[in-house]
Amino acid sequence: MSENLQSEIKVICQAYGNDRTKMMDIVLSVQQKFGQVSSEAMDLIAKCVNCYRVEVEGVVSFYAFLSKNPKGKVVIRLCNDVVDKMAGADAVADAFKKELGIDFGQTTNDGKITLEYAPCIGMCDQAPAALINDEVITYLSTDKVKEIVADIKKHYDPSKLKHRLGDGNNADDIVHSCVHNGIRKKGPVIFADYKKEAGLKNALAMSPVEVINVVKTARLRGRGGAGFPTGMKWQFTRGAAGEKKFILCNGDEGEPGTFKDRVILTERADLLFEGMTIAGYAIGAQAGILYLRGEYAYLRKLLEKILKERRDKNLLGNNIFGKKDFNFDITIQMGAGAYICGEETALISSCEGLRGDPKTRPPFPAQKGYLGYPTAVNNVETLCCAARILEMGAAWFAEIGSKGSPSTKLLSISGDCKQPGVYELPFGIKVKDLLKEVGAEDAQAVLIGGPSGQIIGPNDYNRTICYDDLATGGAVVVFGPERNLIKIAAEYMEFFVEESCGYCTPCRVGNVLLKKYLDKILAGKGEPQDLDLLQELGESIKTTSRCGLGQTSPNPVLTTLKNFRPLYENKVKKYPDGMQPTFDIRKALADAEKIANRQSVIYTK
Amino acid sequence: MSKQITFSIDGVEVKGKEGQTILQAADEAGIYIPRLCYMEGLIPHGSCRVCTVIVNGKPQAACTQPIAEGMTVENDTPELKEHRRNIIDMLFIEGNHFCMFCEKSGNCELQAVAYRLGILSPKFPYFFPKKDIDATHPDIFLDLNRCILCGRCVEASRDVDHKGVFEFVGRGINKKIAVNAEANLKDTNLAATDKAADVCPVGTINKKRTAFAIPIGKRLYDTKPIGSEIESRKK
């Protein structure tokens, strides 16, 4: 075994040129092959790529899909996102436990199947859903769990699982997935029919600076949520000194409730790659990297196929489209289960084979990004928009949508609505109209922009979705009248606790505290001053956190406190006896009693 | 000769040199900005967030933010003091800090900053986590109960000692310091003379047989609050 491990790891490391910066690919390959990256494997990898062993451990311990301890040949990851729970994930979880005879976090005695939870896997519109290795299984039910477990036990090969097929490219042999696209509304920009490669042709007929100017004139802003002007980002990257430049596409949508990039990657990958190529031309890059979240590994073969087709057609490679000296190619970097890697500097760290920690800014990626070179990181949808802008012109693009927010936005809509799915709608749409469109007019609350956005109530349904009012990367989750919003806020805090990288104090510790106070309130033990503490803590975390995660993670608490304060006030009460309601003297004494081997005679109950 | 840059901290004009961070320029000017993870000579880690200041209305870490001509920095404000207290509280409750019998007491930067900010006890509930200790090394004792994840040892060992003895593993609240060995510090090449053995601001990396060489009461912060060495530079 040990000798086998040694030679196999040598082969894997060699396949990646024994390159320390390819650590993600190396450890992912080792994980896939051996079901773990063991202590011994870490030593071997460190020797091959010439780094410290503990660095390998640092990487492996950071990502949810990597593990030092052995996992089963089959790993079932049930999504426990808020929306999945609303759709019955808890019952599905119980069914898995029963059928497999193990709890979450455990592996069956024969070592073959591991059961785990995963945060949002981008399937909220077809929840409850699970990842079984790379396969996605949607619309889970307790009956379906029985069938799946029986099926798996026949072959322990998730690719052989019997399931119906989804629509569009999901049904393609190369994807062979039961995922549905769920495109509910096609708009003029992303899902409309378009003239393939016309944008790229037009771009190559211009100078790179002219391309940037067109994107600026169109007033394209980042679609990931932050809304930074794309043309400006390209200009900074182009203008920065560096012998090489890179364009990175952020395909790591992990915000709970977001799944729009899944659909683009399935149905509009060509448009995306066209947009990346245009961006590469504009900023002067020779290489682009698509960072694909580990949860979307089922799309990888399709994307590789499309990249190959583009190479065959000279849409990638040297002298693209006959444009002399424009050489550009795209590779795919797989993620491994870390929400934080959707933060652009964390994404760069991950591409460099490091822990997915955000980087210190300044320098910004445009100055010093991937491997220290000027880098532009753009969202999937943004790059698609760019391709359409170059095809149709800046004026066409800017005409659609609202004044401050041109064009359309893809919204991923899920939760308590009749028609969950992906909607391409013009910016400036009122929440009220959106709710009508998706069949959710009785909504108690709506989450706009995912948990890092805001939870609003009916008083705000006249507000509009755009950069100047309710900005969003695209996640919209609807909560019906019967939902417990404090519980939902607590579940979202649980998500941030799990996904904080732990680099900075306020995000690492503060989110745990917010969750604890919410749990205390939910247990009926909250006191009025806890609400003030929630507010104060939330503000401290927002103000002092190092990156966007911590700067927005208190939002589920702060926005429900602001918009649904009576819900909280009804749950807290004063304890005039001065006793702390959470203090349990028996529990506090337990350890000491055990050590002393006798019971307290005063505090008997 | 680098270019001089003029900016203000709490309304006081400060002159710094191009390329300096706010913290460096403030230190030279004799203005104390509370901090924990920062250490002169190491690349600023920017993780504790205690040195958060408001720059032109926006929060930034003073240890990583470069100075710029005309920038307005707010430092000593009631709001920032509260945020800093909350952060210090968080560091206390996420670990197990037993100042009354910690050998670092009096020399501990966490304790000293807490006193300087007027913290007598944390207002948040303790987590009481189970943390590892490692006494396997002949000269150095490692106690993760008191670690604040400042990253000084990681960097000093990697960039100064060129040994890579320490590194972060895990993430979120489970993030911790690990050593470059299967399990134990004794299996690394850490030496008591290494920079990494000398940089810990708290009682996590301790040199054996030196604990009480200087008695309590005569230690660095027993007589003067932390930061006074910086403030004494004020012209």
In SS3 terms, A152-163 reads as HHHHCCHHHCCC
The mean pLDDT value of chain A amounts to 96
Query: Which of B165, B168, B172 lies nearest to residue A58, judging by beta carbons?
Result: B168
Q: Indicate the residue type of A175.
A: V
pLDDT of residue A604: 82
**A·B CB contacts under 8 A:** 126
Query: Which of B87, B125, B172 lies nearest to residue A497, judging by beta carbons?
Result: B172
Q: Which residue of B has its CA nearest to A42?
A: B182
Give yes or no for a contact between B189 and B162, defined as CB atoms under 8 angstroms apart.
no
ipTM score of complex: 0.97
A12: its two tokens = 């894997």
Query: Does A522 contact chain B (CB < 8 Å)?
Result: no
Q: Which CATH architecture has domain A408-479?
A: Roll (3.10)
Q: pLDDT digits over B24-81, tens only?
A: 999 999 999 999 999 999 999 999 999 999 999 999 999 999 999 999 999 999 999 9
E-strand ranges in B3-99 read 4-9, 12-17, 52-55, 58-61, 72-74
Inter-chain residue contact A506 with B91, CB threshold 8 Å: no
Inter-chain residue contact B171 with A62, CB threshold 8 Å: yes
pLDDT band at residue A154 under the 50/70/90 scheme: very high
Query: Which of A360, A512, A546 lies nearest to residue B173, judging by beta carbons?
Result: A512
pLDDT band at residue B235 under the 50/70/90 scheme: low
Stretch among A52-56, A225-229, A282-286, B192-196 having the lowest mean pLDDT = A225-229
Is A166's pLDDT higher than 60?
yes
Query: Does B93 contact chain A (CB < 8 Å)?
Result: yes
Is A518's pLDDT higher than 60?
yes
- Is A592 strand, coil or helix? helix
Query: Which of A54, A502, A536 lies nearest to residue B175, judging by beta carbons?
Result: A502
Inter-chain residue contact A546 with B47, CB threshold 8 Å: yes
Residues in B closer than 8 angstroms to A544, CB to CB, are 49, 52, 59, 83, 87
Residues of chain A with CATH 3.40.30.10: 74-163
Q: Which residues, 6 or more positions from A456, have their beta carbon under 8 angstroms from its beta carbon?
A: A431, A445, A446, A448, A463, A470, A559, A563
Fold of A74-163: Glutaredoxin (3.40.30)
Query: Which of B82, B87, B123 lies nearest to residue A506, judging by beta carbons?
Result: B87
Inter-chain residue contact B173 with A506, CB threshold 8 Å: no
Give yes or no for a contact between A194 and A205, defined as CB atoms under 8 angstroms apart.
no
Query: Does B44 contact chain A (CB < 8 Å)?
Result: yes
Query: Does B19 contact chain A (CB < 8 Å)?
Result: no
Inter-chain residue contact B127 with A55, CB threshold 8 Å: no
Query: Which of B90, B169, B180 lies nearest to residue A506, judging by beta carbons?
Result: B90
Give yes or no for a contact between A95 and A142, defined as CB atoms under 8 angstroms apart.
yes
Distance CA A323, CA A205 (A): 9
- Is B221 strand, coil or helix? helix
pLDDT band at residue A403 under the 50/70/90 scheme: confident
Q: Hey, of A43, A45, A54, which one would you mutate to test binding to chain B, going by the most B CBs within 10 A of its CB?
A: A54
Residues in A closer than 8 angstroms to B90, CB to CB, are 505-506, 508-510, 513
Stretch among A17-26, A431-440, B209-218 having the lowest mean pLDDT = B209-218
Residues in B closer than 8 angstroms to A545, CB to CB, are 49
Mean pLDDT of B170-196: 97
Query: Does B18 contact chain A (CB < 8 Å)?
Result: no
Q: For A444-495, what is the HEC assignment?
A: CEEEECCCCCEEECHHHCCCEECCCCECCCCEEEEECCCCCHHHHHHHHHHH
pLDDT of residue A50: 97
Residues above pLDDT 90, as percent of chain A: 95
Inter-chain residue contact B170 with A540, CB threshold 8 Å: no
Query: Does B130 contact chain A (CB < 8 Å)?
Result: no
Is A559's pLDDT higher than 80?
yes
Measured in whole angstroms, how far is the alpha carbon of residue A80 from the centre of its chain?
A: 14
Q: Which residues, 6 or more positions from A410, have their beta carbon under 8 angstroms from its beta carbon?
A: A190, A223, A260, A263, A264, A381, A422, A423, A424, A474
pLDDT of residue A1: 52
Query: Does B164 contact chain A (CB < 8 Å)?
Result: yes
B125: its two tokens = 């509930």
Mean pLDDT of A533-562: 98
Q: What is the dihedral of CA A274, A276, A277, A281, to 10 degrees?
A: 140
Residues of chain A with CATH 3.40.50.11540: 185-399
Q: Which of residues 486-515 of A touch B (CB under 8 A)?
A: 497-506, 508-510, 512-513
Distance from CA of A500 to the nearest CA of B (A): 5
pLDDT of residue A603: 87
Q: Indicate the residue type of A62.
A: F
Q: For A347-414, what is the HEC assignment?
A: HHHHHCCCCCCCCCCCCCCCCCCHHHCCEEEEEHHHHHHHHHHHHHCHHHHHHCECCCCECEEEEEEE
| pTM exceeding 0.90 | yes
Mean pLDDT of A224-242: 96
Give yes or no for a contact between A41 and A73, defined as CB atoms under 8 angstroms apart.
no
Query: Does B64 contact chain A (CB < 8 Å)?
Result: yes
Residues in A closer than 8 angstroms to B167, CB to CB, are 52, 54-55, 57-58
Residues of chain A with CATH 3.10.20.600: 408-479
Mean pLDDT of A338-354: 97
Domains and CATH numbers, chain B: 4-75 (3.10.20.740), 86-209 (3.30.70.20)
The mean pLDDT value of chain B amounts to 96
Residues in B closer than 8 angstroms to A543, CB to CB, are 52, 59, 83
pLDDT of residue A581: 81
Distance CA A584, CA A587 (A): 5
What class does CATH assign to A185-399?
Answer: alpha beta
pLDDT band at residue B1 under the 50/70/90 scheme: low
Inter-chain residue contact A54 with B47, CB threshold 8 Å: no
Q: Which residue of B has its CA nearest to A500?
A: B172
Q: Helix count (H) and strand count (E) of chain B?
A: 6, 10
pLDDT of residue A571: 96
Mean pLDDT of A573-597: 87
